[in-house]
Amino acid sequence: MESFAIEPTHIPENVVQESSRTNTANLVLNVPEPPSIWEKLSLSMKEAILPRGNKSFSLLRWTISALRGLFPVLQWGRQYDFKSFRGDLMAGVTLASLGIPQSIGYANLAKLDPQYGLYTSVVPPLVYAVMGSSRELAIGPVAVVSLLLSSMVQKVVDPTVDPIAYTKLVFTVTLFAGIFQASFGLFRLGFLVDFLSHAAIVGFMAGAAIVIGAQQLKGLLGITHFTNNTDVVSVAKSVWLAVHHPWHPNNFLIGCSFLIFILIARFMARRNKKLFRLTAIAPLLSVILSTLLVFVTRGDKHGVNIIQHVNGGLNPNSAKQIQLTGPYLGECAKIGLICAVIALTEAIAVGRSFASIKGYQLDGNKEMMAMGFMNIAGSISSCYVATGSFSRTAVNFSAGCKTTVSNIVMSITVIIALQLLTRFLYYTPVAILASIILSALPGLIDIKEVCNIWQVDKMDFLACSGAFLGVLFGSVEIGLLAAVVISFAKVLILSLLPHIEILGRIQGTDIFCSMRQYPMASGTPCLLLIRIDSFFLCFMNANFIRGRIISLIKEKYEATKATEKIQSVVIDMSNVMNIDTSGITALGEIHGELVSLRIQLAIANPAWEVINKMKLASIVHKIGATWIFLTVGEAVEACLGDRKDNCFAC
């Protein structure tokens, strides 16, 4: 039987290459449409309530998931035991010993009656305990937010002229702050908090610390007439005028003596970790001892300023005092927004730093919702804006807290103090409150971090300096505005002038990288590889990118010999995540310029949004569907193969 040998069919190499390029182009182009902005927003809202991967829907399952997401206590509460409670009990009592005197002092800084600081240490910590995701964060009034409130609200209503109206506006601001915070968490708008960069916050905190310290000279020196401005120039002028008039040095003597005592206690606790509770107890001991001293010596009869009457009892209802109508509503909303952002920034930064030590992740959106609901609840229970305190959180952590139950213990302890101890605070000197606030300020000034910012990024240092100087010599609003403007200017400069890199191949590999960053990378004859280092090719940078790319092409085209003329240009768009109509127009103009020079254009690795818009704008049709590639390597091989097929001499 005769056998026949089937000869293999020879397929030309250029046909194989063309087929491979077609397959690659189909892979890049035939992708589903990217989700719209409305789909992304609805998905984000869904994820805020339902956990990921929960595909099946039922009312019961949705309710359980929503409750677990809103109240983390339902998850960790099932494993809570007596050992954890013992740690939380000790931490909570220790926390209260520091929080009570600090709360009274911060209320004074906010230009409110002392009891409002104590009220703020009752309701917000209770709400956060069941809604917050941080185990260590200690909730209550803080120095920076107290300064923000006093400096901004007093421009609307003077607390010395009309304290009742001032207090009502503070409650209204607190309600708005809570609404904004809860909205940030619900709609996943946490990026709004990031408008204040880390460097800006460092500078703002340092400037605020100095301003707060300067304002405490009023209580420390017993000055009655003091400026309402927060800049150091006005404060220094007030102090200068005050010391040239009769004043009572007993206030200064009491304040400085106990300030030294608190600082020594803190120094000893740092040297010996077993004495860490001394740091928390020292302010409370200072209040007790100074109050007894004034009471025994009748110091109030000899010029010592005392806080006098402090209202006791549970938090009174303040819902009727919130003003949602009237001429000041817009101002209250603006101040509430600023306070919301600053409070969230401080709380999340503190919470994340301690969460990283314990080895767990903090959910920023849950934190925002917890902060929002606790301030909404606080606004109707005579509280002002509360947030996480760094100094109290450090004490809470060192005291061995296990969960947010330590906040509940602290809150109950403050309630007991409000019920039984407020009448004993009548003779507490104002100077001691100033010394307690002054002792907490060094933690807000991080010189080491400022030096680190200077070494790493000079533009960040400029934002840090702008925030610091703005708060110090202007006002809190000017400092915040300077920080935001400089941070945005940095982003705009980087967006307006993105890097355009020429790529080369690392010898012996298929790796293409910047020839400036890696000088060992070598170029490919008759081929120019360009990478656009911009996240968004848009109206702000489209003309710059177009001009820069065309300039590089012409420069390379004119500089090479006739036998080495550029025949193909590959644009690596792997870093371009999105594009607008101006960017599309710029690509079209680049393609038109290359056509006039008889140079082939290839696009490598366009992102999902980019390739979809290129198809809609017919740019893919103009360039040619077979000249769109997944990788730079594929684009290079295709260009080199095309050059051989067309018999160009190189």
Q: What is the pLDDT of residue 648?
A: 41
Three-state SS for 578? strand
Structure token digits, residue 269: 């606790």
pTM, rounded to two decimals: 0.78
Single-letter residue type at 156: V
- Residue whose structure tokens are 């400026």: 227
Residues 103-130 have a mean pLDDT of: 94
- The answer to whether the CB of 109 falls within 8 A of the CB of 141 is no
- The answer to whether the CB of 473 falls within 8 A of the CB of 205 is no
Q: Is the pLDDT of residue 646 over 70?
A: no
467 vs 465: CA distance, rounded Å: 5
User: Got the DSSP string for 3-60?
Assistant: ----PPPPPPHHHHHHHHHHHHHHHHHS-PPPPPHHHHHHHHHHHHHSPTT--S--HH
| CA dihedral over 285, 290, 291, 292, signed as positive or negative | positive
Q: What is the pLDDT of residue 484?
A: 81
Q: Is 207 exposed, middle or buried (0-12, 13-18, 19+ CB in 10 A)?
A: buried
Three-state SS for 243? helix
Which element (helix H / strand E) includes 140? Answer: strand 138-140
Q: What is the pLDDT of residue 417?
A: 93
Q: What is the pLDDT of residue 231?
A: 78
How many of the other CB atoms lie within 10 Å of CB of 314?
13
Q: What is the pLDDT of residue 156?
A: 92
pLDDT in tens, 546-596: 999 999 998 888 776 656 788 899 999 999 999 999 999 999 999 999 999
Q: Is 37 exposed, middle or buried (0-12, 13-18, 19+ CB in 10 A)?
A: exposed
Residues 511-520 have a mean pLDDT of: 92
Domain ranges of the chain: 74-490, 497-645
- The answer to whether the CB of 417 falls within 8 A of the CB of 100 is yes
Residues 232-249 have a mean pLDDT of: 76
523 vs 40: CA distance, rounded Å: 41
To the nearest whole number, what is the mean pLDDT of the chain?
85
pLDDT in tens, 435-469: 999 988 888 888 999 999 999 988 889 989 999 99
Residues 377-381 have a mean pLDDT of: 96
Q: What is the pLDDT of residue 56?
A: 53
Q: Is the pLDDT of residue 167 over 70?
A: yes
Residues in the chain: 650
Which element (helix H / strand E) includes 464? Answer: helix 458-473
How many CA atoms are closer than 13 Å to the CA of 563, on its beta-carbon side? 2
Q: Is the pLDDT of residue 194 over 70?
A: no
Q: Is the pLDDT of residue 614 over 80?
A: yes
Q: Is the pLDDT of residue 650 over 50?
A: no
Q: What is the pLDDT of residue 41?
A: 64
Q: What is the pLDDT of residue 16?
A: 47
Q: What is the pLDDT of residue 269?
A: 82
Q: What is the pLDDT of residue 49?
A: 53
Flag the least confident range among 360-374, 378-392, 573-587: 360-374
- The answer to whether the CB of 399 falls within 8 A of the CB of 94 is yes
Q: Is the pLDDT of residue 120 over 70?
A: yes
pLDDT in tens, 122-162: 999 999 999 998 999 999 999 999 999 999 999 899 998 89
Q: What is the pLDDT of residue 278?
A: 81
Q: What is the pLDDT of residue 2?
A: 47
Phi, psi of 568 (to 5 degrees): -145, 145
Q: What is the pLDDT of residue 113?
A: 93
Residues 170-192 have a mean pLDDT of: 88
Flag the least confident range among 74-88, 322-336, 349-363: 349-363
| CA dihedral over 361, 364, 365, 366, signed as positive or negative | positive
* Contacts with 423 (C-beta within 8 Å, 6 or more apart), sequence order: 310, 312
Q: What is the pLDDT of residue 574?
A: 92
Q: Is the pLDDT of residue 197 over 90?
A: no
Q: Is 598 exposed, middle or buried (0-12, 13-18, 19+ CB in 10 A)?
A: exposed
> 497-645 falls under which CATH superfamily?
STAS domain (3.30.750.24)
Give, in order, the Cα–Cα distances in Å from 382 to each of 102, 138, 310, 425, 435.
18, 19, 14, 20, 26
User: Model confidence at 189, in pLDDT bands (50, 70, 90)?
Assistant: confident
